[in-house]
């Protein structure tokens, strides 16, 4: 009978997507921050398993790009690099639990904070329903924009309620710094560019996170939802901790078959996805390779895992 106080989320709400769509990888979503405490017995074992940890330690963050100790070697067959973090605003329900009114409030707060950014981060917010069909299609195919929600998120978890109202995308002129509003989480902060320059991509991400944080504090006295052990709180437990996925789009080296490549990646703590993201196939032999762990290490360590893994492959 337990219910969270903010969004009245029950254990039934938490597991609904997994029950309705048994092919789900994880199958649980948090409707708000309190879900992680109230339904700890369900979340903790899943969280430990997907991050490969036995205990949940105190979370330590390191957003200093100067701490990286090496970079991706020139020879690596890499087309592009992307780093994103997931964030939610403290005090609001997460997308699975939030009300329509509060979702619009979150959109407003984030739009103002994002449009406050300066220098190379400066850009504009575009509500989803102001984009034309072909603009959306082009941005999806170029890897900039989220796709229409899959059944995992929409049917089961309720993340797609009132779609697409309250959703949108922010980007700078060069489309190297972007943010998604009210997709699976309130905010996804994204830094990406062609080539393999991970330091540049990570540096831009770190500056973006700090600047948005500052803008939120100044404007709305709001902070990102954070817990000293779970780290940055996310809708899906796979994103707890840093909330970061650092990825490269790469060709499989000539010396490896696809299954050898996937095996190598798995042993190196790396996740392999298709070129168009989670649950998509490869396209033209290009794969998305990223850090698998987000809780139990710092952002710098996770980027370093990607760099070292790619270099060793």
The annotation places the binding site for ATP at 80-84, 188, 245-249, 273-278
**CA-based nearest residue to 7, from 106, 107, 99:** 99
Q: List the interface residues with ligand ADP, window 210-269 (CB under 6 A).
A: 245, 247-249
Q: Which among 35, 206, 236, 265 is annotated as catalytic?
A: 236
Residue 273 binding partner per list Mg ion, ligand ADP, none, with a CB distance cut-off of 5 to 8 Å that depends on partner kind: ligand ADP
Q: Which of ligand ADP, Mg ion, none is residue 248 near (CB under 5 to 8 Å by kind)? A: ligand ADP
Distance of CA 216 to the CA centre of its chain: 19
199 as an active site residue: the answer is no
The reply to whether 87 sits near ligand ADP by the rule CB under 6 A is no
Q: 273 an active-site residue? A: yes
Strand order in the sheet with 123-127: 123-127, 168-172, 177-181, 187-194, 78-87, 244-251, 286-291, 270-274
- Of the candidates 183, 273, 294, 298, the residue annotated as catalytic is 273
Binding to ligand ADP by residue 31, rule CB under 6 A?
no
Residue 25 vs 64, nearer CB to ligand ADP: 25
Quote the CA–CA distance of 28 and 56 in Å, as a whole number. Answer: 18
Q: Which does 51 bind (CB under 5 to 8 A by kind): ligand ADP, Mg ion, none?
A: none
Q: Assess 161 for contact with ligand ADP (CB under 6 A).
A: no
**Residue range at the interface with Mg ion (CB under 5 A); choices 17-25, 47-55, 272-280, 283-291:** 272-280
How many residues form the binding site for ligand ADP (CB under 6 A)?
17
Provide the minimum distance between the beta carbon of 277 and Mg ion in the complex, in angstroms, as a whole number: 6
Q: If we measure between CA atoms, which residue out of 94, 120, 87 comes closest to residue 14?
A: 94
Do the beta carbons of residue 272 and residue 288 sit within 8 Å? yes
Of 219 and 311, which CB lies nearer to ligand ADP in the complex structure? 311
From the candidates 33, 107, 183, 184, which is the catalytic residue? 184
Handedness of CA 129, 281, 276, 13 (dihedral sign): positive
Under the binding rule (CB under 6 A), the answer on residue 276 touching ligand ADP is yes
Please confirm, yes or no, whether 265 is among the known catalytic residues: no
Nearer to ligand ADP, 192 or 206 (CB): 192
User: 303 is in the binding site of which of ligand ADP, Mg ion, none (Cβ under 5 to 8 A by kind)?
Assistant: none
From the list 27-35, 221-229, 271-279, 291-299, the region that binds ligand ADP by CB under 6 A is: 271-279
Q: Is 184 a catalytic residue?
A: yes
Q: Based on the shown chain and the rule CB under 6 A, indicate whether residue 273 belongs to the binding site for ligand ADP.
A: yes
Residue 245 annotated to the active site = yes
**87, 204, 245, 294: the active-site residue:** 245
The residue whose Cβ lies closest to ligand ADP is 277
The rounded distance, in Å, linking the Cα atoms of 138 and 158 is 27
Residues with a catalytic annotation lie at 84, 184, 188, 236, 238, 245, 273, 278
Residues of the shown chain interacting with Mg ion in the complex, contacts defined by CB under 5 A: 278
Sites of contact with ligand ADP (CB under 6 A): 80-82, 84, 143, 188, 192, 245, 247-249, 273, 275-278, 288
């Amino acid at each position: 009978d337990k219910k969270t106080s903010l969004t009245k989320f029950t254990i039934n709400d938490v597991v609904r997507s997994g029950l309705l769509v048994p092919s789900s990888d994880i199958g649980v979503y948090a409707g708000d921050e309190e879900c992680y405490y109230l339904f700890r017995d369900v979340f903790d074992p899943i969280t430990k398993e997907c991050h490969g940890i036995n205990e949940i330690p105190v979370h330590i963050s390191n957003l200093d790009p100067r701490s990286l100790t090496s970079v991706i070697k020139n020879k690596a067959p890499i087309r592009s690099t992307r780093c994103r973090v997931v964030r939610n605003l403290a005090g609001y329900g997460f997308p699975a639990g939030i009300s329509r009114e509060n979702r619009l409030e979150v959109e407003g707060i984030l739009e103002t904070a994002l449009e406050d950014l300066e220098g190379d981060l400066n850009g504009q917010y575009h509500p989803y329903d102001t984009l034309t069909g072909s603009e959306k299609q082009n941005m999806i195919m170029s890897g900039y924009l989220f796709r229409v929600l899959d059944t995992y998120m929409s049917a089961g978890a309720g993340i797609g309620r009132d779609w697409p109202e309250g959703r949108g995308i922010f980007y700078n002129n060069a489309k190297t710094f972007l943010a998604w509003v009210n997709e699976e989480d309130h905010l996804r902060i994204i830094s990406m560019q062609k080539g393999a320059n991970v330091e540049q991509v990570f540096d831009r991400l770190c500056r973006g996170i700090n600047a948005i944080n500052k803008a939120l504090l100044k404007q709305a006295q709001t902070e990102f939802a954070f817990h000293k052990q779970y780290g940055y709180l996310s809708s899906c437990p796979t994103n707890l901790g840093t909330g970061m996925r650092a990825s490269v789009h790469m060709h499989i080296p000539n010396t490896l078959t696809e299954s050898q490549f996937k095996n190598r990646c798995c042993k190196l703590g790396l996740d392999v996805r298709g070129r168009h993201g989670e649950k998509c196939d490869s396209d033209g032999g290009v794969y998305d390779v990223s850090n698998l762990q987000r809780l139990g290490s710092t952002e710098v360590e996770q980027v370093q895992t990607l760099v070292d893994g790619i270099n060793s492959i």
